Structure 1
Amino acid sequence: MILRHDSRSGAHFAFTDRWGGVSAAPYEALNLGGAVGDDPAAVTANRARAAGELGIDPGRVVWMNQVHGRQVAAVDAPWPGVGAPPVDGVVTTRAGLALAVLTADCTPVLLADPQAGVIGAAHAGRPGLVAGVVPATVARMTELGARASRITAWTGPSVCGGCYEVPAALRDEVCAVVPEAHAVTRWGTPAVDVAGGVRAQLAGLGVTSVDDAGICTLESPDHFSYRRERTTGRLASYVWLEE
């Protein structure tokens, strides 16, 4: 169920795979996305299972309404009522509050400066990479007292540059903004390396402690991939500070 759970100086980072949940195909089994057509009761049960595995309160998880933009919100509790506004980044100083990113090929980015007590999470697909959602998230963290040089970052399971085929013109558009995202598929066609672009953006901001989950969602049968399956579930990546 939990692919990786890493803890550093009171900051926790975790990523799920697709197994251990109750959703039926094509969302089998641990679908954590609430806007992909799955039974809402199954999603609620899956989110509770994942939280239980991590030892966190499912009612203390912030889920975003992700729209492939660069808007970032500072939060101190989950959104009430109708839910989250359209954002692709969240930051908090509230210990015990988990920030979550949903993906099925896009790059989830988790960030923490435990010394300042500030964490952030960003949803970086190709449009978000170009729009600058990761720099925007780091900027909001620094407003709350974080320093880029102290931030630890993780990029989670996502489609790799060797698999993310795009038209040449689209690759050119991306690389005009983030040159480090330039890639070629394993079969020799134009591609975009979103995670590589994110890591380059972080390095440019002075974030040098960056780890990668090292899993391509398109290649791994243990992970949801929109490019492979179209109708499918969503993985979750979590970051939180110990209370």
Structure 2
Amino acid sequence: MDNRGFEWTKEKRQRKLRLIMPEELKNVFFASVYCRGELMDSTEGDPEKIWEILSSNFNNTGLVAPYQVHGTQVITSSSSFALPLRPEADGVLIEASSDSMASLRFADCCPVVIASDSPAPWMLLLHSGFVGTVKNIVGRSLAGLYENRPGSKSERITAWIGPCICRDCYSRKMEDPSTQNALTVFSPDNYLKKNGMTYFDIRGEIKRQLMQCSVPYDNIYEVEGCTYCNNDFYYSYRAGDEKARIFLLGGNTTKEA
């Protein structure tokens, strides 16, 4: 695994992963993952505090920052959902006409970004942790897009799987009902039963779900590392980060100052 599709930057002691957009979307959308650093430490995962500091870099545009509930609901990046409102959702859809920025927060769960120019430019930000992956928020979201956008071409889709907890670090008790349910969903390639525990490869299962939706293998990018193993780079709830969060921010390039 390498970091194709991502670019590391560091500004004022704040690490950031910028997603490298395909040529056809470079002048339409951008997305960045703010990892462990001074800004994220000081704001403790509070999107309002984060936006007080960052908004001037984006022409003081509003920010959609849903209250994440490990579900499959997707809302639009619209001022009608922007802060101080916190509607429940785990995904945000951005279009070329969107009037607000979009964000999600993570601490072991997986940031997923999906974008295309077919039939018109769109970009999805998704929160897919263990529960969201079992519920297949990726597949449900893409199914909805295909249904509402006749003529969509899956070969024009690009996807980025951001930093999350790895398969060696994420385990659940075998007898847990949620484990048993997950075993009916996850591919056998993406879990391992060992010593009364089941280890789940969330990132691997998300990649499988993307390919089940006909996203080409070569169009899926993954970032190296594990939020738990590499806790010096990322935030991990399982490693003790109770408040601070990885912050995924995306929007139209026209919103950048």
Superposition TM-score, scaled by structure 2 size: 0.76
For the aligned residues, what is the CA RMSD?
A: 2.8
2:65–2:82 contact (8 Å) kept in structure 1: no
Look up the equivalent residue of 2:238 and give its one-letter code: R
Residues 140 and 31 (structure 1 numbering): CA distance in 2 closer, same or farther, change over 3 Å? farther
What residue is the counterpart of 1:5 in the other structure?
18
1:234 and 2:242 correspond: no
CA distance in 1, matches of 2:227, 2:250: 20
What residue is the counterpart of 1:38 in the other structure?
none
CA distance in 2, matches of 1:32, 1:58: 19
More strand by share: 2
1:125 and 2:136 correspond: no
Q: Quote how far apart the aligned CAs of 1:139 are.
A: 2.7
CA distance in 1, matches of 2:171, 2:38: 31
Residues 147 and 242 (structure 1 numbering): CA distance in 2 closer, same or farther, change over 3 Å? farther
Look up the equivalent residue of 1:168 and give its one-letter code: M
CA distance in 2, matches of 1:206, 1:110: 16
What residue is the counterpart of 1:37 in the other structure?
none
Identity over the aligned pairs, expressed in percent? 21
CA distance in 1, matches of 2:55, 2:37: 14
Structure 1 residue runs of 5 or longer lacking an equivalent are 35-42
1:192 and 2:200 correspond: yes
Look up the equivalent residue of 1:232 and give its one-letter code: K
Q: Quote how far apart the aligned CAs of 1:182 are.
A: 2.7
Superposition TM-score, scaled by structure 1 size: 0.80
Q: Quote how far apart the aligned CAs of 1:14 are.
A: 1.3
1:223 and 2:234 correspond: yes
Moved more, 3-12 or 61-70: 3-12
1:20 and 2:22 correspond: no
CA distance in 1, matches of 2:224, 2:99: 27
2:65–2:83 contact (8 Å) kept in structure 1: no
Look up the equivalent residue of 1:206 and give its one-letter code: S
